[in-house]
Amino acid sequence: MPITTLTSAPSATDSALRMVCVVPFLNEEAYLRAFLDSLEMQDRFPDLLVLVDDGSTDASPRIAAEFAAGRPNIRLLRGNHRPPARDRLTGAPELHSFRWGLAEVTGAWDVAVKMDADLELGPDLFATLERAFLTMPDLGIAGAHLSVVDPRTGERVRERCPSHHVRGATKFYRRDCLTEISPIPPILGWDTIDEIAARRHGWQTGSLSCTSGDTVHRRPTGDNDGRLRAHYRWGTCAYGIGQHPLWVALSAARRLGDRPYLLGSVSFLAGWATGVVRHRPRAASDVRAFGRREQLFIIRRVVRRMVCS
């Protein structure tokens, strides 16, 4: 069961795709203006930009409205304020907002982009991804590698991401692929379930590097509401995705080196175990089975390399 690695951006062509970008945001005034500035500097601006306010109570809507003013290819949608929740990410609100924004698009499109508002984009991001979709007809879901800025050194450090995985912060969907895998279940782990479903249907998925450098994730994954909760949530994701128990154990072992040391692994396993005990929502059985076959394939490949080295 080969998993193709996307190693570089393809060469340019004369064709063009119609690209729609949906950006859900909630109380992102600390990052939104810088994100929009980096979006405006794109070599290839999306044909339509839909900014979806998910009920912000800060200055985010004003920042978005100022950016959209007088631009017919930018729309701003305003949602109702959502009451506080124990874990606001449990119901995948960003996926709901993405669906809402995309449903408001009346014209034809070829690629739909779901993008977070806490990013700083390199100027060639959209151009690089467009070339990838143009030259690889079986590319269903793609995205950009993300880096964070080390606060001690100021250097960019790439976030861990398998080559076939596409982080939820930058999701580029080919229309035919998105149609085929929809509806994506709005549960923790949706941004991995979608790509497993895509590969099950024969599509390629993967993250690409841009010539201008990685997209910068200004708020690193898991830093929004505490690292322990993040590890617990990732464990719940592992259950929802339907990861093989061996894969779960190896994931917990790998997390021993992540902050908070040891407690992160324990919290991850607790999140997975809670999903088992409480029968939390999961991906469809065929998607779970395909994902487990992929995971076992990767484990066997790693073991063979270790034995043969």
Q: How far is Cα 299 from Cα 13, in angstroms, rounded to an integer? A: 38
What is the per-residue pLDDT for 85? 56
Q: What is the DSSP string of 183-219?
A: SPP-STTHHHHHHHHHHHTT-EEEEE--TT-PEEESS
Please tell me whether residue 78 adopts helix, strand or coil conformation.
Answer: strand
Q: What is the pLDDT of residues 113-161, one digit of tens each?
A: 999 999 999 999 999 999 999 999 999 999 999 999 988 898 999 998 9
How many angstroms from the chain centroid is the CA of residue 307? 34
What is the per-residue pLDDT for 163? 87
∠ Cα 52 172 87 (to 5°): 50
What is the per-residue pLDDT for 3? 42
Q: From 188, 191, 186, select the one nearest 172 (Cα to Cα).
A: 191
238-249 burial, b if ≥16 CB within 10 A, otherwise e? bbbbbbbeebbe
pLDDT at 167 over 90: yes
Q: What is the pLDDT of residues 185-212, one digit of tens each?
A: 999 999 999 999 999 999 999 999 999 9
CB 207 within 8 A of CB 6: yes
**CB within 8 Å of 122: residues ≥ 6 apart:** 38, 210, 211, 212, 213, 214, 215
User: Do the strands 139-144 and 170-174 form a parallel or antiparallel pair, or are they unpaired?
Assistant: antiparallel
Q: From 247, 114, 146, 141, select the one nearest 196 (Cα to Cα).
A: 141
Q: What is the pLDDT of residues 212-265, one digit of tens each?
A: 999 999 986 655 667 899 999 999 999 999 999 999 999 999 999 888 999 999
Q: How far is Cα 215 from Cα 123, in angstroms, rounded to an integer? A: 9
pLDDT at 96 over 60: yes
Query: Structure pTM?
Result: 0.91
